[in-house]
């Protein structure tokens, strides 16, 4: 931050605008004295641009430094005799050195840093370095930083040169960003000739993380330093790419619901099918035809619903919306004004490779972020994907009604609720979206985002984060070996088969779908028994408080009760009596409304039956 100069002095944080004001006055005199105390010769330079100037200066020299680095790695670091003509000295630091080292310009040298790199060093500044650090030191720091990110940020100092080397290698091999995206995870995306088609063909998950925040510069004194550097990874989505979907939910009410309902039915049938809806050898034309035959998408989960459809949708996702903040209305997803960036939203494959990522700007987990991520997945990665998301049960309604609805159906994108989070959803939701009940999910838990966030938050052990593939394989083989015999024994004992288990799931789904509302008799019976329990509990508390109140004089004399205890007894006596009478009146009205002539007792037939 720039806290020097006139601008930095006069720019105060929010809420501190009156810092220079007082009841005694004299502020104008102070400012006049301040103006006169400044140096006579003006200086137009500002520290807020010093970072950007360094970035620009390094960027101009980067191609030359990359060439020098490659030459140094090929031929080894050069050595200069301190008695040679044209020698100049500079302080060098490293793990095994701290000395004044001689350097000498060569014919191909264009600047000091190029000479330093040819000798195995990197200067501390781009133009006139006064100190240099050995490349070996940066390499050690980088490897240590990869194992323990919180150890030091110096491990990133040499990455600009290494990125330049990597870009040249990728260009020489003819590997574009599209190639790198499609080959980021060979186990997921590399296909062999005549390889059997899997459904789903690959799995991933997406989620948001609110731990990585950036404080808005408005809440800091001074002016922010200008810095135009951007992430050069193909995974990052720009703010413009995300904001394309900012009005998807708002525009939902303008689209007919009947068309989107057909999309929902198609996707749910794809999710529950044993084989893909489109044959594995289908060509691109047939896939486009499938997508074009899908009805146009809508956007709102509840727009233009009839009564029955509205009840069904509400029953399915009400519990999920109550328990998951990111499934609620957009108006709830706010963030403190203190943060300019409130976190990140990303998608990873089942092996932990980041497929797409974006910043969450001044908001919570809005719908536009997962929509933008899904759009990138549809653009770059293969079809027949299965994505895990904490609120997929609610998000899929919006997804199918958005502008991505056609492509989601055409490319057969399906989803699930991750295993750990899924148990917080209601039973009807679990039967439709939990991996345990979705064909093709296997043992995958779709919780890889949590492992990724553990790494970014420095919570995961590096040694434990590298063997998960082997652990998953061992778990699968052990389950097959250990449970197959037990399963056959149970099937012989219970006279069941795999078809019966599938039938049980279908029957449970059918039962829950048909159970729209309980019978009125059951509803008021439960309400009456709950009211009886509340009344009995309040009556018992009132009796206990009345006994303490009647024995108050005895306790004052023999137990030494003081004023606070006496006041507490009197308060409880009044409040418990009032609550008991209030519940008694409510219970009497309920009995009159439902024609209950005799109050139910714990031993009565009605109570036992209820």
In DSSP notation, 242-292 reads HHTTTTTTGGGGGS-HHHHHHHHHHHHHHHH-SS-SS-TT--HHHHHHHHH
**Domain residue limits at 37:** 5-47
Whether residue 417 contacts residue 390, with contact meaning beta carbons closer than 8 Å, is answered with yes
How would you class 399 by CB atoms within 10 Å of its CB: exposed for 0-12, middle for 13-18, buried for 19 or more?
buried
- Residue 370 in any domain: the answer is yes
Instruction: Report the SS3 class of residue 158.
Output: coil
Beta strands 414-416 and 385-388 are: parallel
Q: Write the CA distances from 193 to 179, 190, 287, 388, 603, integer angstroms.
A: 19, 10, 21, 28, 74
Q: Are residues 547 and 528 in the same domain?
A: yes
- Residue 198 in any domain: the answer is no
Peptide bond between residue 200 and the one before it cis (omega within 30 degrees of 0)? yes
123-146: b (≥16 Cβ within 10 Å) or e? bbebeebeebbbbebbeebbeebe
Q: Are residues 474 and 491 in the same domain?
A: yes
- The string of pLDDT tens digits covering residues 69-94 is 998 989 889 888 888 888 889 999 88
Sequence-ordered strand ranges (E) for 351-402? 354-361, 385-388
Q: Are residues 302 and 396 in the same domain?
A: yes
- Residue 277 in any domain: the answer is yes
Whether residue 285 contacts residue 396, with contact meaning beta carbons closer than 8 Å, is answered with no
Q: Are residues 39 and 123 in the same domain?
A: no
Q: Are residues 526 and 506 in the same domain?
A: no
How would you class 46 by CB atoms within 10 Å of its CB: exposed for 0-12, middle for 13-18, buried for 19 or more?
middle
Distance, CA of 347 to CA of 388 (rounded, Å): 9
- Residue 366 in any domain: the answer is yes
Mean model confidence pLDDT for the chain? 77
Distance, CA of 515 to CA of 502 (rounded, Å): 20
Distance, CA of 350 to CA of 184 (rounded, Å): 12
Closest to 255 measured CA to CA, from 302, 318, 290, 314: 302
- The string of pLDDT tens digits covering residues 338-387 is 777 888 899 999 988 899 999 888 777 788 999 999 999 999 999 999 99
Q: Are residues 553 and 446 in the same domain?
A: no
The number of distinct structural domains making up the chain is 5
- Residue 223 in any domain: the answer is no
Whether residue 166 contacts residue 150, with contact meaning beta carbons closer than 8 Å, is answered with no
Residue the block writes with tokens 């069941």: 496
Q: Are residues 330 and 270 in the same domain?
A: yes
Q: Are residues 512 and 527 in the same domain?
A: no
Closest to 13 measured CA to CA, from 217, 219, 215: 219
Whether residue 465 contacts residue 219, with contact meaning beta carbons closer than 8 Å, is answered with no
Helix-helix angle 520-550:563-593, to 10 degrees: 150
Structure tokens at 200: 């789903």
- Residue 227 in any domain: the answer is no
Q: Are residues 117 and 130 in the same domain?
A: yes
Q: What are phi and psi of 358, to 5 degrees?
A: -150, 160
- What is the per-residue pLDDT for 581? 93
- What is the per-residue pLDDT for 91? 92
Q: What are phi and psi of 99, to 5 degrees?
A: -155, 175
Residue 160 has pLDDT above 80, yes or no: no
- What is the per-residue pLDDT for 252? 57
State the number of CA atoms in the 13 A half-sphere of 95 facing the CB: 7
Average pLDDT over residues 167-188: 85
Element (H, E) at 523: helix 520-550
State the number of CA atoms in the 13 A half-sphere of 441 facing the CB: 25
Whether residue 362 contacts residue 340, with contact meaning beta carbons closer than 8 Å, is answered with yes
Structure tokens at 521: 């008799």
- The string of pLDDT tens digits covering residues 241-300 is 999 988 887 765 555 544 455 555 554 554 444 433 333 334 434 434 333 343 333 333
- Residue 180 in any domain: the answer is no
Q: Are residues 315 and 402 in the same domain?
A: yes
Q: Are residues 323 and 440 in the same domain?
A: yes
Residue the block writes with tokens 């890889």: 448
- The string of pLDDT tens digits covering residues 508-527 is 888 887 776 677 787 888 88
- Residue 543 in any domain: the answer is yes
CA 125 to chain centre: 37
Q: Are residues 78 and 28 in the same domain?
A: no
Taking the complete model, does pTM exceed 0.75, yes or no? no
- The string of pLDDT tens digits covering residues 43-59 is 566 666 777 888 888 88
Residue 435 has pLDDT above 60, yes or no: yes
**Among candidate residues 459, 481, 503, the one where a domain is terminated:** 459
């Amino acid at each position: 931050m720039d806290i020097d100069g006139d601008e930095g002095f006069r720019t105060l944080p929010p809420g501190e605008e009156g810092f220079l004001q007082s009841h005694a006055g004299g502020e104008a005199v102070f400012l006049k004295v301040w103006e006169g105390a400044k140096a006579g010769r003006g200086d137009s330079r500002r520290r807020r641009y010093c970072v950007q100037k360094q970035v620009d200066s390094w960027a101009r020299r980067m191609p030359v430094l990359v060439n020098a680095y490659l030459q140094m790695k090929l031929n080894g670091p050069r050595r200069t005799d301190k008695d040679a003509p044209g020698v100049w000295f500079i302080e060098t630091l490293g793990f095994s050195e701290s000395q004044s080292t001689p350097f000498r310009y060569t014919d191909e040298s264009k600047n000091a840093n190029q000479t330093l790199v040819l000798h195995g060093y990197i200067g501390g500044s781009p133009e006139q370095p006064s100190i240099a650090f050995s490349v070996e030191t940066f390499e050690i720091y980088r490897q240590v930083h990869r194992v323990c990110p919180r150890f030091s940020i110096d491990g990133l100092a040499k990455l600009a040169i290494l990125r330049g080397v990597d870009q040249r290698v990728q260009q020489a091999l003819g590997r574009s960003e599209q190639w790198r995206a499609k080959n980021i995870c060979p186990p997921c995306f590399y296909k062999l000739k005549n390889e059997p088609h899997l459904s789903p063909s690959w799995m991933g998950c997406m989620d948001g993380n609110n731990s990585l925040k950036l404080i808005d510069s408005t809440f800091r004194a001074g002016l922010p330093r200008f810095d135009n550097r951007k992430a050069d990874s193909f995974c990052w989505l720009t703010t413009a790419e995300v904001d394309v979907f900012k009005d998807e939910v708002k525009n939902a009410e303008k689209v007919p619901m009947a068309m989107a309902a057909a999309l929902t039915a198609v996707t749910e049938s794809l999710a529950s099918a044993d084989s893909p809806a489109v044959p594995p050898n289908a060509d691109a034309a047939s896939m486009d035809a499938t997508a074009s035959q899908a009805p146009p998408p809508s956007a709102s989960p509840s727009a233009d619903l009839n009564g029955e459809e509205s009840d069904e949708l509400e029953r399915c996702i009400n519990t999920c919306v109550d328990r998951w903040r990111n499934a609620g209305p957009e108006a709830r997803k706010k963030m403190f004004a203190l943060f300019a960036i409130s976190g990140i939203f990303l998608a990873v494959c089942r092996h932990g490779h980041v497929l797409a990522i974006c910043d969450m700007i001044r908001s919570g987990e809005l719908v536009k972020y997962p929509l933008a991520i899904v759009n990138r997945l549809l653009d770059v990665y293969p079809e027949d994907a299965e994505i895990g998301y904490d609120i997929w049960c609610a998000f899929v309604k919006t997804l199918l009604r958005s502008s991505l609805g056609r492509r989601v159906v055409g490319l057969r994108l399906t989803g699930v609720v991750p295993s750990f989070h899924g148990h917080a959803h209601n039973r009807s939701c679990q039967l439709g979206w939990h991996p345990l009940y979705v064909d093709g999910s296997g043992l995958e838990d779709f919780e890889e985002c949590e492992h990724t966030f553990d790494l970014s938050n420095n919570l995961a052990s590096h040694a434990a984060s590298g063997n998960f593939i082997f652990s998953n394989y061992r778990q699968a083989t052990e389950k097959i070996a250990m449970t197959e015999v037990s399963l056959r024994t149970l099937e012989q004992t219970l006279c069941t088969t795999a078809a019966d288990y599938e039938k049980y799931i279908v029957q449970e789904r059918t039962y829950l779908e048909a159970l729209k509302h309980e019978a009125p008799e059951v509803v008021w019976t439960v309400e009456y028994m709950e009211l009886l329990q509340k009344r009995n509990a309040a009556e018992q508390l009132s009796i206990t408080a009345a006994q303490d109140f009647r024995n108050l004089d005895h306790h004052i004399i023999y137990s030494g009760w003081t004023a606070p205890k006496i006041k507490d007894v009197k308060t409880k006596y009044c409040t418990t009596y009032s609550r008991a009478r209030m519940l008694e009146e409510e219970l009497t009205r309920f009995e009159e409304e439902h024609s209950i002539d005799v109050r139910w007792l714990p031993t009565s037939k009605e109570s036992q039956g209820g």
